[in-house]
Amino acid sequence: MKRLAALWLACVATPALAQAPAPKAASERLWLGSAWYPEQWPEDRWAEDLRLMKAQGANVVRIGEYAWSRIEPSEGVYDLAWLQRAVRLAARYDIKVVVGTPTDTPPAWLTSKYPDTLRVDTNGVRAGHGGRRQFSISSPRYRAMAREVVARMADAVGGEANVIGWQIGNEHTEESYDPAARDAWHAWLKAQYGTLDTLNDRWATAYWSQTYSDWDQVPFNAGINNPGLMLDLKRFITDQWVAFQANQADVLRAKLPARAFITTNLGGLGWANRFDRYAINTGLDLASWDDYVGTGHLDAYRNGAVNDLVRGWKRQNFWVMETQPGFVNWAPVSNMLYPGETRALAWQTVGHGADAVLFWQWRNALNGQETLHGSLVGPDGKPLPIYAEAAQIGADFAKASRALAGTSPNAQVAVLQDYDSRWAIDFQPLTKDYDQIGVLLDYYRPLKTALGAVDVVSAAAPLARYKLVVAPSLNVIPDALARHLADYVRGGGHLILGPRSGLKDEYNRLDTIRQPGPLAGLLGGQAEQFYALDESMAVDGGTASVWAEDLVVKSPDAKVLLRYGKANGWLDGHPAAITRKVGKGSITYYGALFDKAVTSTLIDQALADAKVVRDFAVPADVELMTREGAGRRIAILINHGRTPQRVALPVAMTDVLGGGTLQAVDLAPEGVAVLQTGEKR
């Protein structure tokens, strides 16, 4: 027990994460609230809604993001008095407001009068009215009209004292292939490459006579094409979303007080990769996302990892702008979460770095595509059964807010996630079974089991503070990134590369040095050939499946970690994983997807070699999360299992939710404990 206590307290001394702090208004406390749509209800109902929110423990509400037709009922005619009244009424209940810009749902008068603002899909079909996201992100007219409505909203409520933040649009999703977008694509290519000769060289267009002699010849669609074109198209789409977002953010920054933050809520269950989410967040003050379970129940590792991914977008704490109050309406089976599971979901996000949790939605709409979605209050305005659990979260947050303020997860290890690499593998998978998120989770799981905090960051992020960095599928390694990773290793870091790493360069061409490409010299070894597998094969201590590479050692100081056993005839007895020490650091290459037991053994050894301090052990169904700051270390424990669990603590800790001091914690199914050690502020 003394050794455990020493290790636990040693963790407090870990250097803080090199990140910009989240905006003060967003991180000064724990926030709890809902999405509220006052424009859908009689105004004499608003006060009762806000009273019930306050009673539930809410201190923030999101409004406005679908209200364009109420704000501008006809072109150039604005009605913002109702929005002012809603914001000011929220202030009377001491509820802060995040205002959403309404550009996800343009009004019918706009799309019917200006059809050029409508999105066109990759097959040339123009979207119609009646849903959402039917606009073109590339339409100059739509961007101009969006700027105007956002400016009017900022003038009307931007100066209100209780408006603490703004959300741009809602769940950026689909690009457009309309004529304006096509023109922008060709202009983007000219800016990137300067000449067609350069483009033809970088894309290797001599293949299949793809060589272009005019910019207008370059295809513009989402179909299968030259891999260089496909990768650049994703980068272009990212830049279009960045520009669409900046079009509104620039207006807001010119009009808002400095205290107000700007964000956008990203959907797609976090892992979506239609565009680069690091780039999307660069121009924002705060990252936020929408955390839904959908069918089934909370997968603690998967949902925990995606929260870490979100934290890595800006390398700072974040907001959960939408989460489900029990169930959704869009899943194959929109089942209800277990009693207590909604609370567990909320606390898990906090444990991974969220400073706010907002439910979607407050009250069921009487009609529309999402009327059957879970909510806290029914169409009659009365609380639904889940309201009581939301109120428990409110009581929890009130007790824990002071302890959590100024803290964030502080990790010794990082997992690298790279959008270029994900796209490149998606384009040419070779096997339908290569699940990139599953691969990442196979590495993440043993790391998170050992540690209270794990970072998931961009490959280009600062890495020097990490003792161990794992890159599961770093397929695209440009020379600059190779130098960045080599500097990390030479500086004493320990780097693990998964299979397929360094197969492609920045133009999505095969690297002329076999994987890991520009890092092969540092590794002292490389892959001779890769194989998509239709059967599993033996490796030392277990099996490999889906993907395997034939590795060869080139340097006398590189060592073989694992070998294949009886395999497919090409791999029998050959190296499956190799490693090389470089000064005080090391670089390791795993050439196959190993089973979970082998992967866990490898990761456990890597943690020991990198001298990573492990956190205290908890039962299999219990998740340990840690946050640090202001002289405090917070441990959050959640029992994700269906049976009670007892957790022995390494030191006596303050029970933030229950009071008193504990040496052990008893957790019911879906039970939560928030514990504090270290000096109080």
Nearest to 607 by CA among 431, 456, 469, 457: 469
Instruction: Please state whether beta strands 672-678 and 632-639 pair in parallel, antiparallel, or not at all (unpaired).
Output: antiparallel
**Rounded Cα gap, residues 655 and 404, in angstroms:** 13
Which candidate in 39, 65, 175, 322 is catalytic?
322
Q: Each residue of 240-264: b (16+ CB within 10 Å) or e?
A: bbbebbbbbbebbbeebeeebbbbb
CB-based contacts of 44, cutoff 8 Å, min separation 6 = none
User: How many Å from the N-terminal Cα to the C-terminal Cα in the chain?
Assistant: 27
Mapped onto helix, strand or coil, the DSSP state of residue 132 is coil
Cis peptide before 516 (omega within 30 of 0): yes
Cα–Cα–Cα angle for 194, 200, 203, nearest 5°? 110
Token readout for 394 is 């409110």
Give the relative orientation of helices 140-157 and 81-92 as an angle to the nearest 10 degrees: 50
| CA 409 vs CA 406, 614, 651, 676: distances in Å | 11, 15, 20, 14
Backbone angles phi, psi at 394, to 5 degrees: -60, -45
**111 vs 118: CA distance, rounded Å:** 7
535 an active-site residue?
no
The answer to whether the CB of 318 falls within 8 A of the CB of 291 is no
Active-site residue, 75 included: no
Contacts of 537 (CB under 8 A, 6+ apart): 543, 544, 545, 548, 564, 565, 566, 567, 568, 571
Q: Which residue carries 């929110």 as its tokens?
A: 53
What is d(CA 294, CA 560) in angstroms, rounded to the nearest whole number? 43
The active-site residue out of 72, 171, 341, 628 is 171
Supply the DSSP string of 213-257, one letter for each residue. SSGGGS--SSSS--HHHHHHHHHHHHHHHHHHHHHHHHHHHHHS-
Query: Which long-range contacts (C-beta less than 8 Å, at least 24 apart) are formed by 612-615?
Result: 612/412, 612/413, 612/450, 612/451, 612/467, 612/468, 613/7, 613/10, 613/11, 613/14, 613/412, 614/7, 614/450, 614/451, 615/7, 615/8, 615/11, 615/450, 615/451, 615/452
Q: Which of 34, 118, 105 is nearest to 71 (CA)?
A: 105
How far is residue 464's CA from residue 477's CA, in Å, rounded to a whole number? 19
- In DSSP terms, 537 is beta-bridged to 544
Q: What is the dihedral of CA 411, 415, 420, 422, to 10 degrees?
A: -140
Say if residues 481 and 495 touch (Cβ distance below 8 Å). Answer: no
Which residues belong to the active site? Answer: 171, 322
